[in-house]
A and B are shown apart, each in its own frame.
Chain A
């Protein structure tokens, strides 16, 4: 039974990293209000803000803290579920209720509860190996469309916007990093946790920069979540043939995030010590 409520160190590292990349990118570029050019700085600010909380977690997480963490993960998992269902609706299935679209995703999450955290972590490792060549293909085909000048003004909406985004990123990092530390079967060094989150933050920052170079910040009026998703996936500048790999990356990322957060939430509740 303890195998179902703990996770190996390797699976924790890959699971947390993949989940954080998906969560931060979705949260900063699609879900929330547009941060635009400052978004890639927000993720780095978030790392700094999350470190004190993670420092407290390194000596173990008490039952109250585990339950609080579980609740936060569950709420965030529902946001990921809603985001994935919304994406499905926007891309193809706008005539189907969101609740129906969410069912296969919930089935996948339920299956992960049965398979255990190591299976979720292993799938994240496989996904990372596929993600890199897929991203390489996308970058190569979009290369001539990138406009580096659209990354300026560098601070975007200014320090206030960057800090607001940083607080959100910090919460996600603390939540996912703390869950990984609490559920890891082996002892995890704090430096390893920081390194994992730093690498994930760096990858997210690079993805954000690539996205910003494809479509400029739209300042006159809020684009809305649907148009922000559209600007990411089909933005009208990238070759249409890239839609398929981009949609695959998008949905696999959100599905992993959902499954990992659901598993962590349930495991934290079931864990006895």
Chain B
């Protein structure tokens, strides 16, 4: 009798979760979340959700049986209100736990309302902040509507693979929403986001050429390449205190990656020749204090994957050094430190109070910059 009761109790405990089951088709799994500013100060949210059970295959006549993803949007005076509207718009239980990408429009990311919005998104229940974070030109809703899968059938895995590839080669920074949130509230360095822009052909109209809408760098990239996707990702958005304050183009982003991480295989032109370079070891960054004067030092160690002329390698070293120092000086003007120099400077202080009182931002802005680059000759 006691054994039967014990068995019954165990079964009841194990199966107790079944009372709360929700079928997969009864939920709306958001894979992409878009954030836009409304003209009246409100917020518009856009999500992209997969159609469960839709294979995207053609029907018997060879025609497409419909898009595999839906785009839904809702607006409100606040983020909470917009999210509530989105719950209604989705007509299903909205599941935010699988978001792979968060896209914010440039206008919203640059506004005074964005820092508070970062907190609201981070505080959303079951919204895991590992999602990649992109700032796009134009509206986030338009950007999301134009997304499509290229090589695979699943948007979430496509996004992950694409960003991993781009970050490894220095085209974009490694940027997640969690990093944005933590860096915004911490006392260390400033975060970056991935820069996204649509294909130039989509933006150009009879009255307005694409160059008037997107920057020269983005337009040049569009002109020089042929891609299957109408959504491009290259470059970085710089943030300071939760607001976007500047943008880095492709080559500047590569410099940023060389200064902060490892880059696997990138092409670099110097002295009329092309080189294939890789990071040899992680970059070394130091903050030296000479009295009141601060010196920022960085050492970049690279290796040439092919046996190149030493004169070409020396020219490349000088060129990368100039680019890196110019990038740091430009960021100094913006008071933004995406290079993690602040993390190193903070180590010299015993308490948060003493560190904050030292006024790192002003000292960073006035600091001297020294970058050294060495390229080892490989491929022999």
Contact = CB atoms under 8 A, between A and B. Distances in A.
A156 B122 CA distance: 24
A220 interface: yes
A114 interface: no
Given A217-B186, A234-B128, A236-B178, A226 B123 contact: yes
Given A147-B343, A153-B346, A156-B352, A219 B130 contact: no
A149 B185 contact: no
Given A94-B125, A217-B186, A236-B128, A153 B350 contact: yes
Contacts, number: 88
A187 interface: no
A144 to B, nearest CB: 11
Contacts of B130: 234, 236-237, 240
A160 B280 CA distance: 45
Interface of A: 36-37, 90, 93-94, 104, 147, 149-150, 152-158, 215-221, 223-224, 226-227, 234-237, 240
Contact of B129 (A37, A158, A236): A236
A187 B202 CA distance: 82
B343 A240 contact: no
Interface residues of B, number: 35
A13 to B, nearest CB: 31
Counting from the closest, the 4 A-B pairs by CB-CB distance are: A236-B178, A236-B129, A218-B185, A216-B186
6 contacts: A154-B350, A216-B186, A223-B185, A234-B129, A236-B130, A236-B182
A227 B340 CA distance: 24
Interface of B: 13, 20, 119, 122-123, 125-126, 128-130, 176-179, 181-188, 340, 343-344, 346-347, 349-356
A236 B126 CA distance: 12
Contacts of A37: 352
A235 B179 CA distance: 9
A36 B188 CA distance: 14
A216 B351 contact: no
Nearest to A223: B185
B187 A219 contact: yes
Contact of B343 (A149, A218, A235): A149
Nearest to A235: B178
A200 B122 CA distance: 33
A111 to B, nearest CB: 11
B351 A153 contact: yes
Contact of A236 (B181, B184, B351, B354): B181
Nearest to B128: A234
Contacts of B186: 150, 216-219
A217 B349 CA distance: 15
Given A219-B352, A235-B178, 5 more contacts: A152-B343, A152-B346, A158-B353, A219-B186, A219-B187
